[in-house]
Amino acid sequence: MKILTKIIIGLVVIFIGYFCFLYFAKYSEGVRAGELVKFSRKGVIIKTWEGEISQGVSDSQFFRFSVEDSENKVIKDLNDLQGQYVKLYYYERYKTFFWLGDTKYFITKVEKTDRNLNK
């Protein structure tokens, strides 16, 4: 019975370690710029903040992102800048978590920018 208890405890520790890695580790960080075309709070039971920016003329050039509930300044800035050109600072997680958002990309900072993004 002692060996079974040790195996179960070992598996629980491995699972917790794996979950913590997926939750806290950042796969990438970066900046994207474009026109903020959508930002809304959505969901039936668990509400999350979701948005997208257009990075070009084609429908395939959209960057979809999520914002954590604790990012109050980012949420306010995105609501205020609807339809304008923005620069988004983000990090990417390894996995999505349904209670945080629909994407792996989470915005940490927003800046208003010019339409000519090459400046």
Look at residue 98 in the predicted model and tell me its pLDDT.
Answer: 81
Question: What is this structure's pTM?
Answer: 0.81
Domain boundaries, the chain: 28-112
Look at residue 74 in the predicted model and tell me its pLDDT: 93
Consecutive 10-residue averages of pLDDT for the chain (119 residues): 87 92 88 92 90 78 91 93 93 87 92 72
Q: Which pLDDT score is estimated for 117?
A: 54
DSSP class per residue in the chain: -HHHHHHHHHHHHHHHHHHHHHHH-EEEEEEEEEEEEEEEEE-SSS-EEEEEEE-SSSTT-EEEEEE-TT-HHHHHHHHHTTTSEEEEEEEEESS--TTT-SSSEEEEEEEE--S-TT-
- The CATH number that domain 28-112 falls under is 2.40.50.140
